Amino acid sequence: MLTDTQRAELTTKLTAEKTLLEEELAKLGTRNPSNPSDWVANKPAGEEFGADHTDNADIFELEQQNNATLNELEGRLNNVLRALEKMSAGTYGVCEVSGSEIEVERLYANPAARTCKAHMGDEHSLA
C-alpha cells in the first residue's frame, strides 16, 4: 500500500512527465480540433513536394518518422493521464490484469505502469 508521501512523490513525477510529453508533442504536431486527446503530426517546415522523386521520398520518410514518434509519445501521454485519473479516483497502483498491488519500486521506475511485474508483458494488449 502506498503511503501519502509516496502518492505525492509519484503524482509529482507523473505531472512532470505529462508536461514534458505535451511539450515534445507540441514540437511534432498539434491537437486535433475535433478530438483534443488526439495529436496530428505537422508537416516538416519548408518541406514541399516537388518534381524530384528522391526529395519527395525523403520528405515522406521524415513525415513517417515524425508520425511514429508522435504516436509513441501520445501513447505514453495517455498512460500518464490514465495514471493521474486513477490517482484522483483512489485506484492508482492496482494491476489492470490481476487486481493486485503494483510493486512500489515498479511505480517509482515507471509511475504510469498499468500492471505488476508478473504481468508486464500484458501491458501492450490493454486497451
Give 81-91 pLDDT, tens digit per residue.
999 999 999 99
User: Could you tell me if 78 and 43 are in contact, meaning their C-beta atoms sit under 8 angstroms apart?
Assistant: no
Domains of the chain: 4-125 (1.20.120.910)
Residue % of the chain over a pLDDT of 70: 87
Closest CA to 65 of 95, 29, 16: 29
pLDDT of residue 50: 61
pTM value surpassing 0.85: no
d(CA 73, CA 99): 27
The pLDDT, as a whole number, for residue 37 is: 79
> What is the rounded distance in angstroms from the CA atom of residue 53 to the CA atom of residue 59?
10
Task: Look at 64 and 103; give whichever has higher pLDDT.
Answer: 103
Strands, E assignment, the chain = 29-32, 35-41
At residue 123, does pLDDT exceed 80?
no
Distance CA(127)–CA(59), nearest Å, equals 32
Scan for cell 480540433, then name that residue: 33
Higher-confidence residue: 66 or 124? 66
Alpha helices in 1-127, H assignment, sequence order: 4-28, 53-89, 104-109
Highest mean pLDDT among 33-37, 88-92, 123-127: 88-92
| Rounded CA separation 42/73 (Å) | 14
